[in-house]
Structure 1
């Protein structure tokens, strides 16, 4: 799924129209696809009655096309006009000819009983009032009409399902801002691509589930092909994960080197190492401070161990030679989880990243904060390393505020991936993976189950394990983020609530995620 701005979508539709896929044809495809989603999701289980809230623009047209198809498929359909449409409108004529009921609700000063009754008698509300081109604040009378609709929805005895056409009415599809009268959707059926504002906050709180429908864009449309931002999809993850041949041995699946842990944070090393194994790595080598080694060895008996020189349980610069001696075998090296921020560990990190013949590097957690203290670190760090900051760590690396980062997560990630010549995974709601050569992937996931100490250590171990198995680092970061998020959802289901999920639960769910994906291949 492409991820784009409203302006980019407008340019794509204009280009498609020039190439012969007319606006009318795109509306027909969008409306039919919308109707098919509603029939598939709600036709078997719900009373087949639907009310569309219809505006004067393209969203209203999509809604009317969908209603006409649903009438053919046995639905009872009504349309409430929130903005006047031409009485000769062919879409309205088609809808009425199919047996639909049309009610003018465009004046909030008139008796609203008809609208309230229509809402109360419908199992589905189709919100087609406003589209992606609106700018806030809303003006009368639409703000009042939408607010009144929201009040009616909250007072009916059995609340209908709300399906938004492309976006909930009253939502800015570029900025993510929301009108106070915005109608909250249970499902948003978006056309052709995900509009960037839908994944921003507070907008995402109003979107509900997201589903995409095709609008029949021509093949090889340059304006479409030029969009390099993609939302990560399950099928893509399934297809890119490493194959596990029957004649494999442990060397087939690579070696991960995990440089992690300190006296205050020994568990971070375990979470990363175990997760690297559970994602399929053939061998995991744990490089940890001498003082915590004896307490950790029993937790991962499958690992091999490098006992690093330390001071008070923190890795020292004297351990650089030990890492150099271990570099022959690992295909990926993770540095950072639980390292602490001792000055001697910062000198250790500087020594390591200046070594020759390094495997692919992943820097996480304390490794990133230590990195930020090194002069001219972007030029010292090998190109194409994977950096996995959360917004607070990104603020330390860039000097920007967390608010500035969160206001433009995709743009900020893309800028610094290019500037630093590194792969950047910016954690948070809708994690962004940006590559220095261009192209970004956005994870469609905002899940409190992942907001837990140690969750990032699990993700870092997953990415390291995938790279060790031969995956391209950018692909490993994006697919690893999806697997991590899916494991969080499964762990929350097992625990009964996201609040009860621990990082170890996420790691333990990795096998179930891989099994689900394997079923899709079989």
Structure 2
């Protein structure tokens, strides 16, 4: 798991570590050695091609880069340092490089960048250590000139950003237009929050973390609740599948989904639940959908609900509630439509009372009714709410009180706007903060879908899925995610873990789809056969 921190939190952790005996100099040595090891072990080049050029600023990132160059020199690399300021040849880091006969050039002595261009042409690796996490935009003119020149030059070697690409504001995610896009960003001990925001995310390339081996009980770190998902984090949370298991071992999903206009949503959600490992998927759909779906989806079992013109009717709730024995997750929403009768179906499902007999199915009701509703909600299986289910929910008075504990809500920005009253622009501008705030207020797990999906829990945990691909910007991909979340929930994962696993695997399937065909050609159904391929990597 990669920690996700603000710049202030990282500085506090470093100060606490320094006070505990891990000096700033030691942290710099560990950072530089970690970068060097990553480069030497992961960037495969021939022995005669091991040339590294470091763009070295005057701050801590520059120091990290100098340590890296010296460590690479010990590993047999030819190293060259391009310094933004005049070098102090008595400084220990500079002296160490000179001991390896490294070439050093000061930017002021290379006015037309002719020396730098020659170095960049032959370098297998370019280390970007010009600026660190504490910068404020705009850049100084001389720094902007250097970075802009290298970015325009587009060197053929691998660009490795030390902690962050120079020119990125690691708090806000804003970045200078001169920023050099990295192929790999190696963050020191934790990912900075700005890197998980646009436009910065588009410049970081592959993201890795260098462990600085700080003490494990630092006060600031103990309070951290944010993380960035990766394969290790998700793999630790996936359900164990015993050799003597049977289908009941992996739970049952009941999926109340679909309508005549959105028949495919039902299939996408139900099959995704199976693909992530659910033992049985029961499809609660309007009767007319059965003929269209059954032949394509023989693995499912069916509960045919009353309908009005092909959408689930209010009377369907009573039938559904009578068929929840042994159901371990209930998915509601994909493809339901927004008709009034379907809204009444949802209200009855959540209150246990038909709108024909309950005086206030969408309101507060009496104290006795509220008590009965609370008992009813406690008896419902774990619930995943998506798509039209969320829009119908948003129309209900005091809707957060209508949900059982442990729900997963899966809105995209538009649905989040309907639930919160915020504008889409406000939500997109502060995705992490919005997801965290409303997960706490609603007491439910929120998956705020989109580029860099955010998963937030009521207890303050927040995990960002570090994936953004246009391959997922297609109708139906959200149905796949909702089905995956229900599938993991059915297998017994707690709501937050189920949401993180589903969102990460869904995102990785989208990336896999974009590698096998043009991103513009990917459709939601392409994700389903790729989920097993992604899960095989754990």
TM > 0.5 fold call: yes
- Within the candidate set 301, 313, 320, 1:304 is matched to 301
Query: Once the 2 structures are TM-superposed, how far is the Cα of residue 491 of structure 1 from its aligned partner?
Result: 2.8
Unaligned stretches of 5+ in structure 1? 518-522
Corresponding position: 1:74 with 2:76: yes
Alignment of 1:82-121 (within 5 A): 82-106=84-108, 110-121=111-122
CA contact (8 A) 1:191 1:212 kept: yes
CA contact (8 A) 1:55 1:84 kept: no
1:520 is matched with none
Paired residue secondary structure (2:240): coil
Bigger Cα displacement from structure 2, 22-31 vs 66-75: 66-75
- Taking structure 1 as reference, are residues 465 and 150 closer, same or farther at Cα in structure 2, changes over 3 Å only? closer
Query: Once the 2 structures are TM-superposed, how far is the Cα of residue 232 of structure 1 from its aligned partner?
Result: 1.2
Q: How many residues align?
A: 511
2:206 is matched with 209
Structure 1 runs of 4+ with >6 Å offset? none
- Within the candidate set 330, 333, 337, 2:334 is matched to 337
Query: Once the 2 structures are TM-superposed, how far is the Cα of residue 383 of structure 1 from its aligned partner?
Result: 2.3
CA contact (8 A) 2:56 2:82 kept: yes
Unaligned stretches of 5+ in structure 2? 353-375
CA contact (8 A) 1:56 1:85 kept: no
Distance 1:465 1:181 in 2: 45
- Output the aligned Cα RMSD: 1.5
2:358 is matched with none
Corresponding position: 1:9 with 2:10: yes
The alignment's TM-score, normalised by the length of structure 2, stands at: 0.92
Distance 1:306 1:113 in 2: 73
Corresponding position: 1:423 with 2:423: no
Distance 2:510 2:112 in 1: 49
Write out per-residue CA displacement over residues 331-382 of structure 1, whole angstroms, 9 at most, x where no aligned residue: 1000000001101111111111123110000000111111111111011111
- Within the candidate set 399, 420, 423, 2:421 is matched to 399
- Within the candidate set 175, 180, 186, 1:183 is matched to 180
2:526 is matched with 505
1:472 is matched with 494
Query: Once the 2 structures are TM-superposed, how far is the Cα of residue 52 of structure 1 from its aligned partner?
Result: 0.5
- Taking structure 1 as reference, are residues 383 and 95 closer, same or farther at Cα in structure 2, changes over 3 Å only? same
2:255 is matched with 258
Query: Once the 2 structures are TM-superposed, how far is the Cα of residue 45 of structure 1 from its aligned partner?
Result: 4.3
1:454 is matched with 476
Corresponding position: 1:362 with 2:384: yes
Bigger Cα displacement from structure 2, 96-105 vs 79-88: 79-88
1:375 is matched with 397
- Within the candidate set 434, 447, 454, 2:456 is matched to 434
Corresponding position: 1:242 with 2:239: yes
Bigger Cα displacement from structure 2, 193-202 vs 111-120: 111-120
Distance 2:253 2:123 in 1: 56
Paired residue secondary structure (2:501): helix
Query: Once the 2 structures are TM-superposed, how far is the Cα of residue 225 of structure 1 from its aligned partner?
Result: 2.0
2:34 is matched with 33
CA contact (8 A) 1:107 1:141 kept: no
